[in-house]
Amino acid sequence: MVNQNGLDDVLAKFRMFGRYHFQVMVLFCLAYASNSFYVSNYIFAAEETGYRIGRKNALVMTGLAGGVIGLARSFTTWYWLYIALEFLESAIGDSCSPAYILNIEIVATKKRVIYYNLCAIGYVLGSVLLPLAAWSVPYWRNYLRVIYTPALLFFFYTYLIDESPRWLLTRGKKDEAVAIVQKIADKNKVKLDHGALDKFLTVEREEKGVDLVSLLKMTFGSQALLKRFLICIVWWSTSTFVGYGLMINSVSLQGNKYVNYALVSIIDLPGNFIIMYILTNYKRRNPLIVSFFCGAVLCFIQPFLPTHLPWLSVMVYMVSKLMCSFYFGITYMYTSELFPTYTRNSMHALCSSLGRIGSIIAPQTPLLYSLLAKGNGIQSTILVWWISTSLCNLVPAGAITFLAPDSADTSLPDTVRQAEAVGTKIKGIDNIAMTQDIQTIDKQNGVPKDSKLGLDNLAMMQEIEGKGRIKNS
C-alpha cells in the first residue's frame, strides 16, 4: 500500500498442542505474517518442490525467494526489471501454501481446525501491520525494505522446524520419520507404545521414478477428483475476488484509509476463532454454503442502505468481510482435505493459482468503478457492482458446494482411492475404515502406485498427541 505521493515517485523514478506443536505454531504464525506482507499469486504449484524436496525445504526456499526478490525491487531503477521481479515474486514467493500443508500434516484430524486457525492468526497480524507500515514509511523504496526484510528469517527455519513425518514415510525415509515422531512425543511428554510405533511404520511408500506428470495424471484421471478440482477453482476465484475487492475498496470508505484497511483486516481475527467453533461442530460443507449465501445477501443489500447512516454502511461492510474470512478460511482447509498426499501440495497450490483470477480482477475494480460512474452516475455504479458481486459470484459458489463431499472427521487421504472415498458412507462404514479395506484389496490384487501410500494420518498423529495407544508417562 503506497500513498499517492509514493506512487508519483515510483512513476517518476521509472519514467513510466503440546510444547512441540506450540513452538511450531509460533513459527508458522511468523510465516503467515510474513507472507501476508507480499500476498503472492500462488503460481509456484510444482509438486517437485512440495513433494520431491519436502515441505520444510519448500517453505524455506519460497520464503527466502519472496524476501530476496522483494528487496531487489526496492533497489531497481529500470521499470521493466521491476515488473519482471514482481512477476517472479508471484511465481516463486508463496511460503503460505507449503507452510499450511506442513502444519496440517503434523496434527491429528480432530486438532486440524484449531491448529490451522491459530497459525493463521499470524496472517491477520501481518495484514494489520501492513497499512501501519505504509502510513509510517510513505517512501516506497523504504517501505518495500521494511516489509520484505523479515522474510530473510526463513533461513533459520532450516534449523527450527522439522520435516513432515508423513512426507518422510511416503518417501521411504523411516528412520528420519521415527526420530521426528519420538521428538514430538518427548516434547509433548507422552510415551509411545511400541505397538503404536510399529503400526506407524507398517506402510509402503510410493514407487521411485514416478514423476510429477504421472502423479497429476493419476489424480486427474479420477472423475471424482477432477470434479472437486473444478469446484475448488470456483471457491478460490470467488473468495479471492470478493476478499481482495473488499480489502482494496476499503480505502475508499470515509475516514483514514490506513485505519480503514487495518480495521477491515483485523475483523479476520474474531473470524478465525468463530471458524474454529463452527468447523469443529458443523463440519465443512454446510458452513461453507451458509457463509457464501450470507455474504451474497450482505453484498446485495449494501447499495440499498441509507446514505445518511454511514455507520450502518461500515458495519455491513465489516460483516461482509467477516463472512469472507469464513468462506476463504474454509476453502483453504477444505481444498487440502480433498486430494491425496502425493499431489496435495500441488493440487492445493494449483487450485489457488487458477483461482487467483479473482485477485487479478479485484485491483481493477476501482478503475472500473470510476469509468462506469462517468456515464451512469456513482449510485447506479455502486448498485451494479454490489449486486453483480452477489448474484454472479457468491450465489453460484454456494450452490456448487452442494456437489462436494464433506471431509470433516476424515483422515487425510494418501491415495487416489482414499481421496475418492472422502465423505462417503456405505452400510454404516465410514470412509476411514473403507479406505483401509481398499488398501487391503489393492495389495491383494497387486494394484500399483496410487495404493502404495498406506499411512493413516488419524492413527499416526492421534497416537503422537496422546490419544490412541499413547500412555501418559
Using CA of residue 174, residue 177, residue 181, residue 182, what is the dihedral sign?
positive
Tens of pLDDT along 73-111?
Answer: 999 988 888 888 887 887 777 787 788 778 777 877 777
d(CA 431, CA 300): 39
Q: Are residues 338 and 229 in the same domain?
A: yes
Q: Considering 345, 376, 404, which residue would you say is the last residue of a domain?
A: 404
Q: CATH no. for residue 130?
A: 1.20.1250.20
More confident residue, 152 or 276: 152
Q: Are residues 14 and 105 in the same domain?
A: yes
Tens of pLDDT along 10-66?
Answer: 445 544 455 566 666 666 565 555 444 444 334 333 444 555 677 888 889 988 998
Closest among 402, 441, 434 to 419, alpha carbons compared:
434
Q: Are residues 386 and 421 in the same domain?
A: no
Q: Are residues 335 and 352 in the same domain?
A: yes
Q: Which SS3 state, helix, strand or coil, does residue 3 take?
A: coil
Residue 11: predicted pLDDT: 41
What region does 65 belong to: left with phi over 0, alpha with psi -120 to 50, or beta? alpha
Q: Are residues 83 and 191 in the same domain?
A: no
Predicted confidence band at 67 (pLDDT cuts at 50, 70, 90)? very high
Q: Are residues 416 and 435 in the same domain?
A: yes
Residue 268 and residue 247 in contact, taking contact as beta carbons nearer than 8 Å = no
d(CA 179, CA 182): 5
Residue 105: predicted pLDDT: 78
Alpha helices in 250-340 (DSSP H): 257-266, 268-282, 285-301, 310-336
The pTM for the full model equals 0.68
Closest among 272, 332, 326, 335 to 118, alpha carbons compared:
272
Q: Are residues 201 and 281 in the same domain?
A: no
Q: Are residues 211 and 197 in the same domain?
A: no
What is the total count of domains within the chain? Answer: 3
- Report the Cα 450 to chain-centroid distance in Å: 25
Burial class (CB in 10 A: 0-12, 13-18, 19+), 4: exposed
Closest among 184, 210, 189, 26 to 105, alpha carbons compared:
184
d(CA 248, CA 323): 16
More confident residue, 468 or 162: 162
Q: Averaged over 137-166, what is the pLDDT?
A: 91
Return the percentage of the chain with pLDDT > 90, whole number: 16
Q: Which SS3 state, helix, strand or coil, does residue 472 take?
A: strand
Q: Are residues 313 and 389 in the same domain?
A: yes
Q: Considering 356, 385, 404, which residue would you say is the last residue of a domain?
A: 404
Q: Are residues 178 and 317 in the same domain?
A: no
d(CA 58, CA 66): 12
The phi and psi torsions of 186 (rounded to 5 degrees) equal -65, -45
Residue 100: predicted pLDDT: 78
Residue 20: predicted pLDDT: 63
Residue 316 and residue 298 in contact, taking contact as beta carbons nearer than 8 Å = yes
Q: Which SS3 state, helix, strand or coil, does residue 430 take?
A: strand
Predicted confidence band at 262 (pLDDT cuts at 50, 70, 90)? confident
Residue 442: predicted pLDDT: 42
Q: Is the pLDDT of residue 319 over 70?
A: yes
Residue 311: predicted pLDDT: 81
Domain holding 198, by residue range, is 172-205+407-472
More confident residue, 242 or 169: 242
Q: Among 205-214, 296-305, 390-399, 431-440, name the one with the lowest average pLDDT.
A: 431-440
Q: Are residues 310 and 247 in the same domain?
A: yes
d(CA 236, CA 25): 25
Closest among 240, 151, 184 to 20, alpha carbons compared:
184
The phi and psi torsions of 190 (rounded to 5 degrees) equal -125, 160
Residue 210 and residue 449 in contact, taking contact as beta carbons nearer than 8 Å = yes
Q: Considering 404, 427, 442, which residue would you say is the last residue of a domain?
A: 404
Using CA of residue 430, residue 418, residue 292, residue 126, what is the dihedral sign?
positive
Q: Are residues 396 and 416 in the same domain?
A: no
Q: What is the mean pLDDT of the chain?
A: 74
